[in-house]
């Protein structure tokens, strides 16, 4: 049976529920994730083919990743929290920021991407496999 994951933005204007199972959990050190998070990396909880319901207005900014992927980063227009990421070319993929979950403790990253742009001060678990760029 599939679980439901609930969460929202910092001010509570956005609330979401996702039914499905995460397929990947990772820390990304690309420059866009650094700028988006305000620190050395953004953490990603990835779903594929999950059902999401969301209440509250979500603003987006769109960018082309260092690897050429078009990304739409959804954030709350009131509090500015990054909440989730979608990909116009891959509508089945949904990435949620673990800190937006009601239970962030379920996040358990298995690898680090874009370590080539990581900073020495952004110290991640050294036991995690690191990829210079995005694997695959
Ligand atoms: Zn908010
Ligand atoms: Zn990134």
**Spatial separation of the C-alpha atoms in residues 77 and 32, rounded to whole Å:** 19
* pLDDT of amino acid 66: 66
**pLDDT number for residue 135:** 72
**Of 110, 103, 106, nearest to 124 (Cα)?**
110
Among left, alpha and beta (phi > 0; psi -120 to 50; other), residue 56 is left
What structural domains does the chain harbor? 4-101 (2.170.150.70)
Please give the chain's pLDDT, 136 residues, in tens. Answer: 679 999 999 999 999 999 999 999 999 999 999 999 999 999 999 999 999 999 999 999 998 876 788 999 999 999 999 999 999 999 999 999 999 999 999 999 999 999 999 999 999 999 999 999 877 5
Residues whose beta carbons lie less than 5 angstroms from ion ligand 2: 28, 30, 33
Helix ranges (H only) for 26-78 are: 31-37
Closest ligand to Cα 117: 2
Give pLDDT, residue 136: 57
């Amino acid at each position: 049976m599939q679980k439901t994951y609930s969460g929202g933005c910092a001010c509570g204007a956005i609330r979401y529920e996702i039914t499905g199972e995460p397929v990947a959990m990772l820390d990304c050190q690309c420059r866009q994730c650094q700028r988006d998070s305000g620190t050395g990396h953004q953490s990603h909880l990835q779903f594929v083919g999950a059902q999401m319901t969301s209440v509250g207005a979500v603003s987006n900014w769109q960018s082309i990743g260092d690897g050429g992927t078009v990304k739409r980063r959804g954030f709350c227009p009131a509090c500015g929290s990054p909440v989730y990421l979608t990909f116009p070319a891959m509508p089945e993929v949904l990435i949620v920021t673990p800190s937006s979950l009601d239970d962030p403790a379920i996040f358990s990253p298995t690898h680090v991407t874009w370590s080539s742009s990581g900073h020495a001060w952004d110290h991640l678990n050294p036991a995690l496999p690191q990829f210079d760029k995005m694997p695959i």
